[in-house]
Structure 1
Amino acid sequence: MALSRFIPDAYTQILIGVVLLATFLPASGQGAVAFEWITNLAIALLFFLHGAKLSREAIISGATHWRLHLLIFGCTFILFPMLGLALKPLLFPLLGNELYLGMLYLCALPATVQSAIAFTSLARGNIPAAICSAAASSLLGIFLTPLLVMLLMDVEGQGGSTLDAIGKIVLQLLVPFIAGQLMRPLIGNWVARNIRWLRWVDQGSILLVVYTAFSAAVIGGIWDLIPMPRLLILCVVCTLFLALVLVIVEFIGRRMGLNQEDRITLLFGASKKSMATGVPMAQVLFAGGAIGTLILPLMIFHQIQLMVCAVLAQRYAKRPDTEAETAEAI
């Protein structure tokens, strides 16, 4: 039973299957163009539905907890990039240039929305604050991530100016999100009733982006550039990187005197990086086969964070109700 916790879920297995499909049957020529158009439409639909699902009341109810939100944003957009730069002497020799840049890209991304909220709920944390901070992180990331990418990775010349990149991301992600918010009074109830099958839009859009990106990467020779030993090293690096972030975030929460519920919200909100936002952004910020290499650390980190946070959430969920009895470290 203990081992079953670490077995990838069905979606992770499908994701691995998509990477294998792109490896052996990559989209090329007119097929690649068609997949790119379909992928862009799927991403727009994804963020439209995010806008339609997100309750404004929930945002308002959690927005007043400004100290917790500042801590989450600080960990997401300052702590992660600082660690990525500080660990360069260790990471660069182990991973090589392309995968290290992928780690820096991971560090520049916003936090997740769905899983951060889901794990906070399961662990009995501050759910309204989690909803507010996760949504705000995702929206702030539309503007901050391109700037951080420019500062950390010096890639402004690869896809045009930073303002152009922000403009493309706003058009592809933020505009559909706002449209969904505006349409929420008309379709919000329908979206809530059909949330189970609409999850396939979330998951399907990511699968499309991963297939399209890895098809281009395979044609560009990604697996010739990344041998299996280096891939295994990347898995270990992502695991240790996540462990380091979890320890630092827990220390910050205790040092700031947060209660147990807020520390849980901080832990799950500040330690997670969004593949749902990161993969579409990479398509805008970077060009060609380089995308596959750059999102590989994100894909691996994302799966590890889900498995580790699932175990942590279950642990917190079983804690006693009294704050004094729950004083425990990660």
Structure 2
Amino acid sequence: MIARMGALFDPLVRLLLLAILLASLLPVTGEGRAIARLVSDGGVFLLFLLNGLRLPREQVLHGVRNLRYLLPLVLFVFGGMAFASLAASGLAAVQLPASVALGFIFLGVLPSTVQSATAYSSIAGGNISLSVVGAAVLNILGVFITAPLIGLLASSDMPGIDLGGLERIALILLLPFVLGQLFQGWLGPLVSERRKLFGWMDRIVISIAVYVAFSGAVEQGLWTLISLAEWGVLLSLVGAMLAFGFFGAWWLGGLLRLDIPSRVSFLFAGAQKSIAMGAPLASVLFAPEVAGLVLLPVLVYHLLQMVISAPLAARFSRAEG
């Protein structure tokens, strides 16, 4: 119970809830939205520059040799979870708005978290080096393949991707990420020495992206568009995705005959989804009136995965002791 409450009081969770509340009460509209989106884009550029500076290229290059761990992890995150999201999206389309149904596909093709997956793996006695490498590789791949996967899997009757968003991805996500990797040796230590400061910058940028996206959804009538019964459907489908993610990752780790520490790392890297990638990418890829609804499944999944991961990691830790 304490672990679950601790997950709810995570600083990022609190900022996300505040952003949703603020967007519900004071959504940015009209000319203000253009300014807010410009601020959000600038923040996203900075976020992916920092990601490029932080992701450990040397560890990634060293870790890619462990194909027995990494290849199944990549296939599960971008393949297995993607196909599960197609099923969830098909069921969602029956009762939920098309943008929310698209959000399940978006959820399925997102990479894992870096910090959260590594932190919970550490608590649970997992293989830390594999956690770092696995999450880093997934996020590097996510920068390049998440958007094309959405275009490939989304059906023609779903809301279209903002075509300008493809150029924006290159300018706002790929360019700063590549620059960060290029200048990692020079600026990387500076970021590492100020980890707490830049960690808060990450959270604020993500929260701004969520605020701008949800403002568009609120303007479209989010809280009247989805009824209480439909929220029940949404929660049930996200719960099914969580079950598939956590049980599927644990089962696949056993099938691969990974040792327990490696299997624990595979579990958290495979089952978790990154709001740090999801919120900025949605704000860049989708039109403002669509982005907030697309993010709904991702936000619910993110909150619930933390509520699940905290006691799960504690249980693994007790079992190890």
Same fold (TM over 0.5): yes
1:225 paired with 2:197, answer no
What is the aligned partner in structure 1 of residue 256 from structure 2?
A: 256
Residue 275 (structure 2) aligns with: 275
Offset at 1:213? 0.7
CA distance in 1, matches of 2:260, 2:38: 46
User: C-alpha distance in 2, partners of 1:182/1:127?
Assistant: 25
State how 1:287-298 maps to structure 2 within 5 Å: 287-298=287-298
State the partner residue of 2:173.
173
Q: What letter corresponds to residue 147 of structure 1 in structure 2? A: P
Counterparts in 2 of 1:32-51, with a 5 A limit?
Answer: 32-51=33-52
1:301 partner SS: helix
Cα gap change, 1:260/1:236 in structure 2, threshold over 3 Å: closer, same or farther? same
Aligned partner of 2:46: which letter? L
Query: Per-residue CA shift, 1:101-145, capped at 9, x if unaligned?
Result: 211211122222221222222222222222222122112122322
1:96 deviates by 4.7
Q: Please, which runs of 5 or more residues in structure 2 have no aligned partner?
A: none
Distance 1:220 1:202, change over 3 A: same
Structure 1 counterpart SS, 2:288: coil
What is the alpha-carbon distance in structure 1 between the residues aligned to residue 173 and residue 183 of structure 2? 16
Preserved CA contact (<8 Å) 2:98 2:159: no
- Higher deviation after alignment, 3-12 or 247-256: 3-12
Segments of structure 1 that go 5 or more residues without pairing to the other structure are 322-330
**SS state of the match for residue 266, structure 1?**
helix
Cα distance, 1:42 vs. partner?
Answer: 0.7
Q: Shift of the alpha carbon at 1:88?
A: 5.2
Distance verdict in 2 for CA 1:87–1:298, change over 3 Å: closer
1:132-147 mapped onto 2 (5 Å cutoff)? 132-147=133-148
Report SS of the residue matched to 1:21: helix
Cα distance in structure 2, aligned partners of 1:214 and 1:43: 16
Deviation at 1:302, TM superposition (A): 0.8
Residue of structure 1 in register with 2:112 after alignment: 111
For each residue in 1:135-178, what CA deviation from the matched residue of structure 2 results, as whole angstroms up to 9, or x when unmatched?
221121223222221222136983466xx755432321122122
Aligned-pair Cα RMSD in Å: 2.3
Between 169-178 and 190-199, the greater mean CA deviation after superposition: 169-178
> Retained in 1: the 8 A contact 2:212–2:288?
no
Corresponding residue SS for 2:49: helix
Select between 270-279 and 221-230 the one with higher mean Cα deviation. 221-230
Deviation of 1:71 (Å): 1.1
- The alignment partner of 2:253 has SS state of helix
TM score, norm. by length of structure 1: 0.88
Amino acid at match of 2:110: L
Aligned residues: 319
How far is the alpha carbon of 1:201 from its aligned partner?
1.2
TM-score by length of 2: 0.91
Match of 2:160 in 1: 158
